[in-house]
């Protein structure tokens, strides 16, 4: 197997968050829900993860970008978008592609502007602080 697709976005990111909180007893994010760490397994075995639904709030819940359900996350996306001169969509893509597992993004869109916005994110060099700030703004624990 060379690739495996998983649903992954800033707000649907338990496969990432569980690794951040794995030894934080009592934290919701500390529960392993994917059978033992698909991200770690893929990295160890040279499997590229591909993130589908990179802008979805959850499972078929609509997008989180500009959603009133995620004001803190959208504020952080907006701040970073202004800093880097791109759109919040690009920052959401940058968060996925900056993960050390080398995750690829599957857009699943037919909108040319969204493709262009997302492509700009692959070149954004988010700092570690910015990356962790985004997952925290999405509601996850950061130790």
CATH classification of the domain holding 43: 3.20.20.100
- Burial of 26-61, coded b for 16+ CB within 10 Å and e otherwise, reads ebebbeeeeeeebbeebbeeebebbbebbbbbeeee
Alpha carbon 143 to chain centroid distance? 18
Do residues 105 and 93 make contact, with C-beta atoms less than 8 angstroms apart?
yes
pTM higher than the cut 0.75: yes
Helix (H) or strand (E) holding 52: strand 48-52
Residue 43 confidence class, pLDDT cut points 50, 70, 90 = confident
How many structural domains does the chain have?
A: 1
More confident position, 43 or 134: 134
Which residue range forms the structural domain that includes residue 118? 3-137
Residue 20 confidence class, pLDDT cut points 50, 70, 90 = low
Q: Which of 27-31, 44-48, 92-96, 107-111 has the highest mean pLDDT?
A: 92-96
CA dihedral in degrees (29, 33, 36, 40; nearest 10)?
-60
In a domain, 143, yes or no: no
Residue 62 confidence class, pLDDT cut points 50, 70, 90 = confident
pLDDT at 141 over 70: yes
């Amino acid at each position: 197997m060379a690739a495996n697709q998983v649903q992954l976005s800033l707000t649907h990111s338990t496969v990432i968050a569980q690794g951040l909180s794995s030894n934080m007893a009592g934290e919701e994010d500390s529960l392993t829900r994917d059978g033992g760490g698909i991200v770690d397994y893929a990295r160890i075995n040279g499997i590229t993860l591909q993130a589908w639904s990179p802008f979805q709030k959850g499972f078929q819940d609509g997008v989180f970008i500009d959603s009133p359900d995620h004001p803190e996350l959208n504020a952080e996306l907006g701040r970073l978008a202004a800093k880097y001169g791109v759109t919040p969509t690009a920052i959401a893509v940058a968060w996925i592609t900056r993960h050390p597992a080398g995750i690829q993004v599957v857009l699943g869109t037919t909108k040319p502007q969204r493709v262009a916005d997302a492509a700009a994110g692959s070149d954004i060099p988010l700092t570690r602080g910015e990356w962790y700030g985004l997952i925290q703004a999405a509601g996850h624990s950061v130790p």
